[in-house]
Amino acid sequence: MGTIKTKEQIELMRAAGRVWASVMDLLAENVRPGVSLKDLDEIARGSIEKAGMHPSFLGYKPAWANESYPASICTSVNDVVVHGVPDDYELSDGDLLSIDMGVENQGWHCDAARSFAVGNVDKKIHNLMNVTRLALDAGIAAAKPGNRLGDIGHAIESVILEHGMYVVDSLTGHGIGNKLHEGPTVFNFGDAGTGAELVAGICLAIEPMVAIGTGKIVERRDGAFLTKDGSLAAHFEDTIVITPSGAEVITASSL
């Protein structure tokens, strides 16, 4: 289980979460056909730095990566599940875009993601986004003292399967704090009542990734993960702190 954070550390993460929410709201206003992924990255970096904080992803090199990450956000389009690097691609009517972003405040991080429908999209995209959002909400509701990690995964998986969609089960959520990724691993599937017990002061990034197809993925050379069958995928994520009364979402936004 991850380390228990102090009130002061949690407050630094809350402040990062408030910046995250305002920047993601600004990005949402700019998600439209004709806007490039690099444009969105520039908006994010400039806005985070203007707030006196740092993009957590920029220059980040996790243990599994060959190179440091070159951008401030991840932009994953259609069959790209996560870790898409912003480039000159211009969004098109009908695209599904997931934006993942972290904000660091005096060494303390938050990490969250949202998926967006670009212009006029097929109904199946709205359904996929809604199910992924519902799965995240279910996972957050299960994150309370006395429950266990398996309760979070079970809640997420149950929503996804109930709606006939598929868990991307080889990608997970994680603990978070003064490291962007720390223990524990937060699976998007599992058995209720199993795993480590949840206690107040633990901070988690809960992030269901859901596909219309099988949920199996492949890694592209640039580190992005795509669905193996080319099916659409969505990604919603929030950073939470477990309090005595339940989960507090520190990346809460209007989205």
- Residue 100 φ then ψ, to 5°: -115, 135
Q: Could you report how far apart the first and last alpha carbons of the chain are, in Å? A: 29
- Tell me how far apart the alpha carbons of residues 48 and 52 are, in angstroms, rounded to a whole number: 7
**Is residue 229 within 8 Å of 255, Cβ to Cβ?**
no
Structure tokens at 74: 């991840």
Residue in 58, 119, 62, 127 with CA at minimum distance from that of residue 91: 119
Q: Read out DSSP for 12-24?
A: HHHHHHHHHHHHH
> DSSP 3-state assignment of 110?
strand
C-alpha torsion sign, points 46, 93, 136, 228:
negative
The response to whether 181 counts as a known ligand-binding position is yes
* 48 Cβ contact partners less than 8 Å away, ≥ 6 residues apart: 19, 23, 54, 55, 72, 103
The response to whether 237 counts as a known ligand-binding position is yes
The response to whether 11 counts as a known ligand-binding position is no
The response to whether 162 counts as a known ligand-binding position is no
The DSSP call for residue 206 is E
- Tell me how far apart the alpha carbons of residues 91 and 95 are, in angstroms, rounded to a whole number: 7
- Tell me how far apart the alpha carbons of residues 32 and 30 are, in angstroms, rounded to a whole number: 6
SS3 content of the chain, % helix, strand, coil (to 5): 30, 30, 45
The response to whether 174 counts as a known ligand-binding position is yes
Could you tell me which residues are annotated as the binding site?
Answer: 83, 100, 111, 174, 181, 207, 237
Could you tell me which residues are annotated as the binding site for substrate?
Answer: 83, 181
Could you tell me which residues are annotated as the binding site for a divalent metal cation?
Answer: 100, 111, 174, 207, 237
